[in-house]
Chains A and B, each alone.
Chain A
């Protein structure tokens, strides 16, 4: 092999080594090019306020509004409704009657609606210390509840707490307050001396539930731990959200999770979409209370509240404002998809389990409508907002 070598004086070598033909010589293109780039900026930046530009929308007010009008009131409402449920169960306990049972059942439906509405913002304090499964765990274990009632041990908050998530919370209360055979069957079990331990168990479960939601509401409340401030100060000192985008990402992802929950867990699975087409009515969420369709609507209400910024009588800015600023047509499609999903779910025949077993066309229509909503949120809305999708790795509960 030929080895080419050179021996030159030091300085000459330095100069020679460093001046390679392509990369060492100045080209003549540089000046004009830089002028072009600078001109582009000069022409472009003043145009940032040009009439043809899209509207300027701040994310900060959206996060503040959502916290003030949706997140805080929703958690406060959940607590208030579970307190009402606790009181209704306490009123039922001494001498159960049809009217008192109906009041307790109504209170359960109202409280459960408040809980399902929060599906769409299931982040923050609720993720701490297994708070969510303490509030609701699906399905409740009837056997475990009956064993605790039939046992000889004292029915205390500590004992019920130790009994496990599937023997307390909303689903346990549904098991205790409802029966597919009707209210008389419930009252028969609650009545008299024989029903004393069942009444005590029901009361303790309702008290525990109110306690859990109080902890949750306090964690969010301005005069409590004020987690709401973590959202409103996103990108400005928030520990939970280092940027506003992180907070918006969280909200958008939770709304998508809620839509997924409806499509997959609340409609798809019971309808047999994952079991060869054979309906699985046992997977219905609230069969004893026949509240499943209302539960689905409540989950959708929560999702729409985050999107629109409006919950009950409180109205403000939601994710829709950000979407509208970037793509008004998309916002219209989302509004229409929400409407369609609500309409199709509301049209589900009752009882839901019968509609499932009969493979009623309304079930598939509700499935397709909610799936269209989920697809729209996860593809176009996420794209418009530059959301980093997280994708759910569980069934949502």
Chain B
């Protein structure tokens, strides 16, 4: 009885914590920065010719399981699709029909990036999640065209859960990004950072350190600690300025070193959500919170909303960990790799030889992937088992169309992961034309060879490439 009473008290305390009104200012700034970043992202697709490259040039698209129906629109309609996406991003920025704009942006953006998993990026997933969250939040109730035109509709506060939800969404990127780094490749062998840093040794000032395995190890550990700690450090008022400065430094350096597109800029903007909820008011003199009008700020958390929030949070906590359900190293098998914030964890290169065999005549064809795919699709397919499977089906269907139904498709994929010697990724004895995609563990993926470790040395483990064989003049 007593415990039930305590439960009820705790529940009431949590509810009060979630429902308490908070200043919407930081959410407004978040909305504006997110909208602007998305405008830039859309503009980049036009400017770089990516709409043609990603949706018009390929003749085949790699589908997400269950989403084969998501295909590019015919003709030039993908340009219209992106133009509408830009308009929706502008709507978010300005706070015009905000929730509709966010919902439309979410639908258009997610559709575009579900067309071909070749182009999967963690930050695209983040953008989709944030857009969906924003579609449910009334972020145009302050600092928007809506409240400028109709001041009576302005809110001076929002329930705290809205702020926490956005913080959670941004926070999971860092937390799970850090959790994903807690493996021997990252911590013991400093891979793949070690290879990437050494390749960028002409980086200004500190570049000469990039050859060093010790430096790579320190940077790897720092990166993992940064990801794991930046959210609480941003949360603490005392450490916040240092944490944000570190965050900006980290993202600027990675933006300069690696091809990360909009990701560093989105994260630098998004991390402002961890600031004090009223922080923008200190920057903009005269933008002070006004007393909320009675009966105008709904803060009560309905049971439905609470259930949805719990489901959303559970999804984001469990999905990044789903790789635990599959055997083997997730970096190798990639079962449970996507949508899990496994950022910057793999230097993985491979070559596939796909062979089609006519079971009746025994005739044999080594298929040229470039006859079917773009160079970028080949690159991505070569190391990702589910894409190899789909490509095998494409080959079988093509042979059937050309009058050779029922060919068997076998794949010899040689892949190197994070400085390991290449190893076969696919069991060549399987006829992949007859294997089906799905969420079950793929029996035709070969495990990493027993005891396989990066060959590039480890400062921590004391394994170092020989010094004697290397001379470098001048």
A residues lining the B interface (CB < 8 Å)? 1-10, 13-14, 17-18, 20-27, 29-30, 33-34, 36-37, 40-41, 44-45, 47-50, 52-62, 64-65, 234-236, 243-245, 248, 264, 268, 273-278, 317, 321-322, 324-331, 333, 371, 374-376, 378-380, 382-394
Contacts and interface: CB of A to CB of B under 8 A. Distances in A.
Contact of B291 (A10, A30, A52, A324): A10
Contacts, number: 286
A44 B23 contact: no
18 contacts: A3-B297, A5-B296, A13-B291, A17-B277, A40-B225, A48-B215, A55-B467, A56-B208, A243-B202, A264-B368, A275-B365, A276-B365, A326-B194, A328-B469, A329-B455, A383-B418, A386-B196, A390-B375
A277 B351 contact: no
B150 to A, nearest CB: 19
Contacts of A26: 236-239
A3 B294 CA distance: 9
Given A37-B225, A388-B259, 9 more contacts: A47-B459, A49-B212, A53-B464, A54-B457, A277-B364, A278-B363, A384-B456, A386-B347, A387-B199
B266 to A, nearest CB: 21
B289 interface: yes
Contacts of A322: 198
Contact of B214 (A6, A33, A50, A326): A50
From DSSP, what is the main secondary structure of chain B's interface residues?
loop
B196 to A, nearest CB: 5
A324 B297 contact: no
Interface stretch (B14-22, B109-117, B179-187, B329-337): B14-22
Contacts of B353: 371
B237 A25 contact: yes
A57 B207 CA distance: 12
Nearest to A59: B201
Contact of A386 (B199, B212, B294, B465): B199
Nearest to A256: B351
Interface string B412-441: 001111110110000000000000000000
B305 to A, nearest CB: 11
Interface in B299-323: 299-300, 302
A17 B195 contact: no
Contact of A393 (B302, B365, B375, B422): B375
B213 interface: yes
Contact of A47 (B214, B361, B414): B214
A378 to B, nearest CB: 5
A331 B439 CA distance: 39
Given A2-B300, A385-B195, A44 B214 contact: yes
A337 B209 CA distance: 32
Contacts of A54: 211-213, 456-457, 464-465, 467
A392 to B, nearest CB: 7
B274 interface: yes
Given A20-B160, A393-B374, A53 B291 contact: no
Contacts of A64: 474
Contact of A325 (B225, B368, B375, B465): B465
